[in-house]
Structure 1
Amino acid sequence: MSNSEITTHDPTSISRKSKKKKWSKPKKIWVSVLVVFLLFLGGAGTYAGFLYSKFDQTLNKISGSNGKTANAAFIPVATEPITILLMGIDARGDGETLNSDVIMPFTLNPITKSATLVSVPRDMEITFDGHSRKSNYVFPHYYIVDKEHAFPKTKEFWSNKLGIPIDYMVTVDFQGFREAIDVLGGIDVNVKMDMCYQDSTDGTNINLKAGQQHLDGAATLDYVRYRKSNCGTKESTDYDRNLRQQEVLDQLFSKLKSFDMVTKVTDILNVVGDNLETDISPDNLKQLILSYMNIDRGKINFIGLNGEWVSPFMVIPDEEWENAKRALKIERMRTAANPNPTIDPKTRLGTDMKSNYRSSGNNASSDSNSSKSQSSNKNTDASSKSKEKSSTGSGSKATPTPRSTNNLKSNSKSNSNQGSSGVEADDRVPKVD
């Protein structure tokens, strides 16, 4: 590639084309560093350290001129815990859905060399702009309304919901996931039941049999995504799907630990390409590598959320949601002197499941920091209380809120009437209000 071909890229842009595009040189080097970071997490620090020194030389040369990353925030990631929002994006077919099938906030603590990951069900009920929505609605909505601010506004929403700042965000398209699994040689899993689902509109053709199997990239994606069935096989819950996601991640970490996988870094880079976007700057990514080069897989804590299906939502008990938020918060609080801090169970972190969230239009700032998140929480709570008082006094209809698990039975009976209250049964293509 000649110097004339070197260009910068927008970290919040998402490729909607199935064809591979040529990488810009800054992007290729940036992704190289990301892959080395993944090797560290996988336990291959000895070999990745050598590769890092090579990538670092080129990265500094590129980032000093054309390696600019737009809207990238900077925080002292080498010494302070951070939280990253990882989203798996489905851009198949016409690419207009951008469905967030994987929503995984995780906190990394460089002091204790530990991490906590929470798998958020894609169908978890949330309140957004006064309507009940699924959790996978948020990013596509912001992307369609204002692509430039989709990242910061999505981070702001989940910061409020989790009660902690979201420092960075990463989106990975499933095409890159499939091809990366193939480069790694596939994975071995024990499929617990037959899985079958076909959808000609987006090309889905899931057909897995129960038993121990070696899965390639396409079959692995089918394995982690399977939920519904139109072939007579047993359907899966969001909770089971999250467990399968964690199982696959654990297998990937094991794969990356071997020297054989380290030698395939170039191949991994070639398949990641335009399928991954983030607002992490190259410098911060380098610091992440140095901070987590010796992380123990045993210190990575996976948390799944389980609830009850009340069509069309997965209703997560308030207590379980609070426990997940508390785990992420505690991870950020860990120190060498106090590796196991505690939080009063009565403490509510951020926006709980029953409170309302209002988006702030298209005037979001580029960065979502903790002070803004706290301010947003206060304004949101005050606004909600004001609306509740107003609704009670005037007799007007109250803003719909997510259901408590204490009245699941009554809600199940009223599902057929939810359309009139603003509930969207199908959130694959968000409606712009």
Structure 2
Amino acid sequence: MNASGFRLFLVFLAFLAGGLGAATALFVSSRPLQREQSPEAVESIVNVAKLRRPVNVLVLGTVVLTSDLPENKDVPPPKGYLESLEGNLNGQSDTILLIRFDPVKNTITSLSVPRDTQVQIPEVGVSKINAANYVGGAVLSAKTVSNLLSQVTIDRYVRVNVAGFAQLIDALGGVDIFVPMDMQYQDDSQHLYINLKKGMQTLDGKKALQFARFRHDGLGDIGRIQRQQMLLRALAEQKLNLETVQKLPQLVEVIKQNIDTNLSIEEMLALVGFASNTDREKMQMLMLPGRFSTPQEYALSYWIPDNRHIKQLMAQYFNVSSPYASTAEETAPPAYIRIALQDSLDHPEAIRAMTQILADQGYAQVFPTEQNWAKPIEKTLIIAQSGDREAAEQVRKVLGVGQVVLEATGDIESDVTIRLGKDWLAKSQAPAAGAQPARGLP
């Protein structure tokens, strides 16, 4: 097992405990891993089983319900009361992920479903999808998610709560991440207090949970999903150290009381082995296509699914056949690709130059984001926001710089978001011999 693979292994362990991801912690009920062991012993165990076919796992992260808390907010709850609620797996689903482990393509693909997604819950009616677990547990949740996602097969489920998330991040030594804005929020009813400052920092478990749960930035649950994906990426890129490896049995112990799954031990080990040997470049993070509802449509705020686009994503990434979707990676002509440009360098001329170059290649829907990325980055990121990797790759070829990532951390109105880095600035200002400087730059 290589270092990057084992780091990814630990990443998924952390995310499952917080209800934000899945894979590694799926083995928490495995008795052998509860003993003190050397890294070599751990490695030999996780490589025993092997994933033979693609598997779809539904991950539900549950939360404390406001209605479960004492009505008298002036009187503190009894000792241990909140902890018992945080360990409850029967609440609403704060996080919903469908994760595909595909040994054929050697990829791990996660599809985030906003908790406010409007769905038809069997025997309930129209509701937000997060109510399914509260009403009917994992079985009803799986049926509801499958109906939403083109009748996709859900092989197994995992339900987790947030009780062990902070402890697990602390055991991993915290997480280095860039907080893109000041985050402040207080909800006394849920005993939720968020206070984070903008900037690069190391978040301990408590602050990492605040980062993951913050949803008051104008994008609501969609912004929250974006931060969860940012946190996952940051954990995946974090350096592995021997002390963390040696803590693996203790990490498992932290979360074993916070999980419910119908995976067998052998299946858990197979997923662990696959995840631990999958490079982070093979991590694909999608978000359910849709839009916000309007007050004129509904009194409640919903995420309205885009069923046509959902069928396309399910065909391409989850191998779900549909007469209305093609599995071929057909990319729209440049004129139809919506591209958002996000400046990380405070360099308007670079934005103008990129806009012109894209326009010269037929990209007619190019626009700047409302907010710049607050931290300069070295390499331009080309984010396949809508899941169209081929469109992002074509943009990269036009620019001649950048790294394509499949995640939903860009502008939600775009198909592709380009986060400008220093590599683009250098290329724009240093044209090849005999060439003219990119228009828009001095």
**Would you call these one fold, judging by a TM-score over 0.5?**
yes
**CA displacement at 1:298 relative to structure 2:** 0.8
Partner of 2:31: 29
Matched, 1:249 2:232: yes
Residue of structure 1 equivalent to 2:155: 167
Q: Cα offset for 1:275?
A: 1.0
Query: What displacement does 1:84 show?
Result: 0.3
Contact 1:29 1:55 in 2 (8 A): no
Match of 1:271 among 254, 257, 275: 254
Aligned equivalent of 2:304: 315
Report percent identity of matched pairs.
25
The match for 1:300 is 283
Q: Is the 1:79–1:110 contact (alpha carbons within 8 Å) kept by the matching residues of 2?
A: yes
Give the CA deviation at 1:247: 1.2
- Measured at CA, do residues 256 and 270 of structure 1 come closer, stay the same or move farther in structure 2, by a change above 3 Å? farther
Cα distance in 1 between the residues matched to 2:133 and 2:241: 35
Q: Is the 8 A contact 2:29 2:265 kept in 1?
A: no
What is the CA-CA distance between 1:169 and the residue it aligns to? Answer: 0.7
Distance 1:323 1:245, change over 3 A: farther
1:342 equivalent in structure 2: 328
Report the counterpart of residue 85 of structure 1 in structure 2. 58
Matches within 5 A, 1:349-388: none
Specify the SS of the correspondent of 1:307: strand
Report the AA paired with residue 224 of structure 1: A
Q: Does 1:239 align with 2:222?
A: yes
Structure 1: runs of 5 or more not aligned:
1-25, 37-46, 58-75, 143-149, 229-233, 334-339, 346-433
Shift of 1:253: 2.7
Residues 171/271 of structure 1: CA separation in 2 closer, same or farther (3 Å cut):
same
SS, match of residue 232 in structure 2: helix
Structure of greater relative contact order (alpha carbons < 8 Å, 6+ residues apart): 1
Residue 53 (structure 1) aligned with residue 75 (structure 2): no
Give the gaps of 5 or more residues in structure 2.
Answer: 1-27, 66-81, 295-299, 332-442
Partner of 2:191: 203
* Residues 126 and 153 (structure 1), Cα distance of their counterparts in 2 relative to 1, 3 Å cut: closer
Does the alignment pair 1:141 with 2:132? no
Distance in 2 between residues matched to 1:245 and 1:170, nearest whole Å = 18
Closer/same/farther in 2, CA of residues 187 and 151 from structure 1, 3 Å limit: same
Asked whether the 8 Å contact 2:172–2:244 carries over to 1, the reply is: yes
TM superposition shift of 1:172? 1.7
Contact 1:110 1:292 in 2 (8 A): no
Match of 2:271 in 1: 288
8 Å CA contact 2:312, 2:327 repeated in 1: no
**Aligned counterparts of 1:102 and 1:48: Cα–Cα separation in 2:** 31
Q: Deviations over 1:209-235 (max 9, x none)?
A: 22222211111111111124xxxxx44
TM-score, normalised by the number of residues in structure 1: 0.56
Does 1:153 find its partner at 2:146? no
Aligned to 2:382: none
Kept after mapping to 2: 8 A contact 1:28/1:269: no
Do 1:32 and 1:55's aligned partners in 2 also have CA atoms closer than 8 Å? no
| Cα shift at 1:301 | 0.8
- TM-score, normalised to structure 2, is 0.55
Q: Which residue of 2 aligns with 1:21?
A: none
Total equivalences in the alignment:
272
User: In structure 2, what is the Cα distance between the partners aligned to 1:343 and 1:30?
Assistant: 44
Alignment partner, residue 221 of structure 1: 209
Quote the residue 1:325 is aligned against.
314
- What's the C-alpha RMSD, in Å, of the aligned pairs? 3.4
Amino acid corresponding to residue 163 of structure 2 in structure 1:
Q
Separation in structure 2 between the aligned mates of residue 275 and residue 161 of structure 1, nearest angstrom: 27
Label 1:186 to 1:323 Cα distance change in 2 as closer, same or farther (>3 A). Answer: farther
Question: Whose helix proportion is higher, 1 or 2?
Answer: 1
- 1:104 maps to 97
